[in-house]
Amino acid sequence: MTMFSNVRYETLKLFLDQIALAVFGIVTAVASSQSPAFRIIFGVIGIGLYYYILYATMWEIGAKDRIRVDAGREEKQPQKPLLMGLVANIPNFVVGLVGLLKLINNGTAATVGSVAISISKLLQGYYLGICNQLGLGEVPYTYLVTAMIGVFMVVIGYSVGYKGVPFLIFKNKKQS
């Protein structure tokens, strides 16, 4: 439990970053609705920006944790990034699981599933342009898969930061 008391802010920040980029994704999807090419371009930009922010945030947390572990102020917690990613994506998973009700041919369950998919589109708006263009916007499991990709990016960013790999792979060479 002490791990979550130390990372509440960072986990909340991951979710708030998602909401901010969802708004960006929705705005760009609506603005580019008349042009499939622009919808895909802005969709790729929105998704790339979301993954970059996830990676950057978790890289910083991983790098700081490594310093604390090396100094002996904190125990190594290899499960930390996975748990942070899962907690930050709880709303996505819950709404995505409810969205699976759309697969049931019962009228009420299908309606509840459709509403959940609409909520998923709002929560994960950065995928809106791409998913709609590719015909995946109404597919029930799409938003569960995208939430899992987000968790994966959290784990990757943390692990790379923890291992001390430079944030930017390309370093400027000093000119002589």
pLDDT reading at 123 higher than 70: yes
Cβ distance 76 to 69 under 8 Å?
yes
**pTM for this model (two decimals):** 0.84
Going by pLDDT thresholds of 50, 70 and 90, the confidence category of residue 114 is confident
Contacts of residue 33, Cβ cutoff 8 Å, sequence gap at least 6: 39
Q: What is the Cα 138 distance to its own chain's centre?
A: 19
Q: How far, in Å, CA of 93 to CA of 145, rounded? A: 9
* In contact, 147 and 89? CB cutoff 8 Å: yes
**What are residue 32's phi and psi, to 5 degrees?**
-105, 20
How deeply is 41 buried, as exposed, middle or buried, from its count of CB atoms within 10 A (0-12, 13-18, 19+)? middle
pLDDT category at 11 given cuts 50, 70, 90 is confident
Q: What is the mean pLDDT of the chain?
A: 86
Structure tokens at 9: 């802010």
Provide the 10 A C-beta neighbour count for residue 28.
Answer: 21
Query: Is-contact 55 156, C-beta < 8 A?
Result: yes
pLDDT band at 113 (very low <50, low <70, confident <90, very high): confident
Alpha carbon 70 to chain centroid, angstroms: 29
Cβ–Cβ < 8 Å for 147, 42: no
Decide if 36 contacts 133 (C-beta within 8 A). Answer: yes
Q: What is the pLDDT of residues 84-109, one digit of tens each?
A: 999 999 999 999 999 888 888 778 88
Q: Which pLDDT score, from 0 to 100, does residue 78 have?
A: 87
